Structure 1
């Protein structure tokens, strides 16, 4: 072995011995029992798909939706969800070395029933969507992971045509663009995907754009949104219509190019489509159907962004609200709210199909899952 190769091999050995990476699974729930762990953390065995519990927190009401900071040090949650005259966002510090999750602080969410929270890639901004009051809030984040008070809060009052579900705005998610320079807000109540420019260097980062929203089909009920890894296409799952709309994306604007059903042909009404994600390689899209089907719809993605349904996978439970793909695309984990079970699937990278693996975990009213691979220093 020559000197350069020897030095490289030695450096690799040192790095491997000092640092390692583990994959962690964060679970949130609808839970008003202060004595129960409403947030739980598991380690994912990336060989067999087994989950091993390492941490949990109590005294947190309805942490319905979670997100992990880019560096993996902090967990943020929509809390006091579905609580009348309330709504908050909370922060926690995650320490994988001592296997702890510690509450840091919380702030008002700026509206009732927060349902979605996102963190900017720079780790300095948190944005949350409030469903019942139809609003979006922006919070600065401190270096120690704590959430500061709201710096910007925008409310909407317009609705759409459904007499019961669309009497007013219901913002269901807040999704950053691929470059984190725009923020998209699918609004189930207004049949709109709202858009703002996001300037990370301003005290109030949201500013209006020439095209403030994209109108969806009537009674679509836009819910969640996912961008393709190539940054050219965006996909919006429509809860009320049981469909997915495909958009060409460029500089904060969306141009619809396709619309397909999320549900199977045997379902004619009562749709409840929920979550949507794309495999890291950009070849497959996954979307959940709740209620009558309780499955994951699987689509292949063509080079022009178009979708083609290639199958459905049962989630082996009732009401799959949120699911997540790990960063390698090897595993997909689904949460079933009504049956309270978490199911791990291994993904075939060639076919896109899913196979149940590992051990099944139970957690009452589990509503959300996030997966994060974190580098830690060995003891």
Structure 2
């Protein structure tokens, strides 16, 4: 797909007016790239301004803090020695490393949590896919950082999918209150739940949410009808193995643990369209009353052009309805990120190794055309762990 290997500037419907914005993109060649998006329409530009290393050989995930002053990077290195790294973010999006710690590797996701002096956080939790573990560390990161706690997951028998030979936790994500950590487990078909001791960083296991057999939950996104309230709270998960999304009702008891109950599971494809062989749902995000999920390797819109699925969220019940599929303008979109204004979506194509900026209408939730597109480093290999790993807005 030649258009994904060069910078594309386009004038399109739904193209918003943008003065300037920064993004970060990590690549499995070991670098994090600072990108700058400016302009709109035919004047839109997306360029790479700088890059840094220091997060190992396979930087798999980036977590930007709420103030957009710090980013945490998780290294997926499989050779028994990975890294966790932190960076300060300059006004121009450039990064300066502020901390680094050695890990056992194989970490695919991480999030800071608890209370402390590091941008308000005291700890960081990571998940290790093949070792079947969740691991916590005290912040700030340094050469002296050691494992604070490690929880090993087990299964009594394999799941129905061949990839479910063992627990495979795929993300650590905070609930909106910051009191609980959820861990979608692709191998065990569970949404594991931990209550957090904000002072000590200790995690206490709660009863998990149970996904459908063979769903393989990967990541989650939260929604509530009223900002700042947990009343009517929903969790939406994307299921990598089932190529679907699930809607969960959330209960916050006065005493005890958060609980999840699965209410809906819908395909990431329109009715009558089956997931192509080799396709894998990857990521999920909420914006307003709309839910979005990425499909990898479906090539719904032609060679090397996968799809994003859009769902509407009923503002009263939280139930979801499939709306449409639109082009991702990327091949194997491992991650995507919606800006705060809700008028731009940045899609990170892993195999195509590009960042595509897509227009979005905040009122209708409709995804529009390609605004800009930038090749980052080297393309990946189909179905392999190389290429671009993640992209996120810095706001």
TM norm structure 2? 0.80
- Unpaired runs of 5+ in structure 1? 1-20, 33-37, 374-379
C-alpha deviations, 1:273-309, integer Å up to 9, x for none? Answer: 0100000x2x100000111242100011002111111
1:63 aligned residue: 59
Aligned CA RMSD, in angstroms, stands at 2.3
Alignment of 1:1-379 (within 5 A): 23-31=21-29, 38-45=31-38, 47-48=40-41, 50-58=45-53, 60-79=56-75, 81-96=76-91, 100-109=94-103, 111-120=104-113, 122-142=120-140, 148-158=145-155, 160-162=158-160, 164-202=162-200, 204-209=201-206, 211=207, 213-230=208-225, 231=230, 232-251=233-252, 252-264=258-270, 265-268=272-275, 270=277, 271-279=279-287, 281=288, 283-293=289-299, 294-302=306-314, 303-363=316-376, 364=378, 365-373=387-395
Q: Once the 2 structures are TM-superposed, how far is the Cα of residue 356 of structure 1 from its aligned partner?
A: 2.8
SS at match of 2:59: coil
Q: Once the 2 structures are TM-superposed, how far is the Cα of residue 100 of structure 1 from its aligned partner?
A: 3.4
1:11 aligned residue: none
CA distance in 2, matches of 1:145, 1:83: 21
Is the CA contact 1:226–1:235 (under 8 Å) kept in the aligned structure 2? yes
Q: Once the 2 structures are TM-superposed, how far is the Cα of residue 184 of structure 1 from its aligned partner?
A: 0.3
C-alpha deviations, 1:181-215, integer Å up to 9, x for none? Answer: 0000000011111000012112x421133x2x111
Is the CA contact 1:67–1:77 (under 8 Å) kept in the aligned structure 2? yes
SS at match of 1:64: strand
TM norm structure 1? 0.83
Q: Which has the larger radius of gyration?
A: 1
Q: How many residues align?
A: 339
Is the deviation greater in 132-141 or in 332-341?
132-141
Is the CA contact 1:238–1:244 (under 8 Å) kept in the aligned structure 2? yes
Is the CA contact 1:90–1:147 (under 8 Å) kept in the aligned structure 2? no
SS at match of 1:120: strand
